Amino acid sequence: MTQDKPLSFLGGLTAREFLTEYWQKKPLFIKNAFPDFEDPIDADEIAGLALEPFIPSRFIFESGGERPWQLKMGPAVEADFTALKDKKWMLVINDVEKNLPELKAMTAPFQFIPNWRLDDLQVSLGEEGGNVGAHWDDYDVFLIQGMGKKRWQISYAPVSEDDFVDGVDIRLIENFKADEEWIVEPGDMLYLPPRIGHYGVNIGRSVTWSVGFRAPKHREMFRDFIEMQFDKIAEDARFSDPSLPVATEYGHLTDDAIDRVMAVLQESLTHNREMVSEWFGAFITEPKMFQTPEPLDEPMDEESLVEFLDDGGALEVHPGITLLHREINDAIYLFAAGKSYSLPKSEKALVTYIVNSEFLEYEALEEALSSDVAKQFLVQLVNDGILLCEDEEMAEGADWDDEEDEA
């Protein structure tokens, strides 16, 4: 995708224009962003996802009484759907693209945003009046309307962590006042930056697809970085003062003592760009619950891998993880599932190919397989569960890349 090509799903804006004018700044509504849009899975299939124990899901419904809003976490059972009769409800499913990899095609139009910022594809299903209340998120999100219609209202009023309805399990804005409103239909899209209050109410049975982008909290980043540094400190390292001067005042905490303590802390927290790069690549690719790759029970060797590929097999990138690459000093690094893999820069083409592919076949890997380093690397990724051995048939999804035509 070129930075300056008008994109129809952004209303004719280029990727550069969108990021400059709207990203993390202000909402954007695009009528008919995806013409002739059809849900890639139907309502029954969406409901079926809620029954799976490894797929995050939740029901949100208005129930009346002392607690008018209730939240019920999944997995659901059949009786949950029966109990929703006469209630206004929404079913929300997260990480859809990780469990149905063919639906990754729905995130393809947004590849002008770095993949490590992508959180998930979420889908919500509900009947007439169903909604999740007026709320705000710390996410950037593209809301794509599927089946049915929905009334979206947004508010530009400032929000805070304290502006919630008391005694409710979900984060609702207490005094929501709409500044703009749209009735959305299949293929319409609304982009919302973080902390914009929004309220969507179904008009009849309705499906909404959400492509959400995360921003890690500073506290999470700092804690993880400190833990990484902590692990590098030798267990037997202790405070020392071999040139301790005679104490002139028994209870005095001297400047010399503080200087030594500061030296310990500064040495422990020493960092540079290369160190931060290696840490952050691993940190930001940590997999979500239920998406952690499982190492092979019986490790594969290089000869078996080459034979598997030569016989028509293919390697699939684990659908639940994010892959990143970066050059650090004299090496090329692959980051995957919270781990870092270091290779000589001569293998950069192989690493970037893996990062930008879903399936890897023998024909594309033939040159790499002539390198012992590359073979060892591929075998390690297979044995670690980063790459999965699959049959040659590829998953087929909707070709959303075609939406990148000129407006």
What does the DSSP assignment read for 224-255?
HHHHHHHHTS-TT-----TTPPPPSSTT---H
Please say whether the beta carbons of 114 and 152 come within 8 A.
no
CA distance 384 to 38: 37
**Architecture of the domain made up of 302-393:** 3-Layer(aba) Sandwich (3.40)
Q: How many residues does the chain have?
A: 407
Cα dihedral across residues 56, 62, 63, 64: positive or negative: positive
Of 124, 121, 122, whose CA–CA distance to 59 is shortest? 124
Could you give the dihedral angle defined by the CA atoms of residues 90, 91, 92 and 93, in that order, rounded to the nearest 10 degrees?
-170
pTM of the model: 0.90
CA distance 229 to 267: 10
Decide the pairing of beta strands 149-155 and 197-203.
Answer: antiparallel
Amino acid residing at 396 = E
- Show the CA angle centred on residue 237, arms to residues 234 and 240, nearest 5°: 160
φ and ψ of 151, to 5 deg:
-100, 115
Burial 386-407 (b: 16+ CB within 10 A, else e): bbbeeeeeeeebbebeebbeee
Of 37, 397, 1, 47, whose CA–CA distance to 189 is shortest? 37
User: What does the domain layout of the chain look like in residue ranges?
Assistant: 6-213, 217-236+260-270, 302-393
CA distance 49 to 125: 11
- CA 195 to mean position of chain CA atoms: 18
Q: Which two tokens stand for residue 276?
A: 């931060």
Q: Going residue by residue through the chain (407 aa), what tens digit of pLDDT does each one get? A: 578 999 999 999 999 999 999 999 999 999 999 999 999 999 999 999 999 999 999 999 876 655 667 889 999 999 999 888 878 999 999 999 999 999 999 999 999 999 999 999 999 999 999 999 899 999 999 999 999 999 999 999 998 877 666 656 677 888 899 999 999 999 999 999 999 999 999 999 999 999 999 999 999 999 999 999 999 999 999 999 999 999 999 999 999 999 999 999 999 988 899 999 999 999 999 999 999 999 999 999 999 999 999 999 999 999 999 999 999 999 999 999 999 999 999 999 999 999 999 999 999 999 999 999 999 999 999 999 999 998 644 333 334 444 444 43
Amino acid residing at 31 = K
CA distance 309 to 166: 58
Burial class (CB in 10 A: 0-12, 13-18, 19+), 275: middle
CATH class as words, domain 6-213: mainly beta
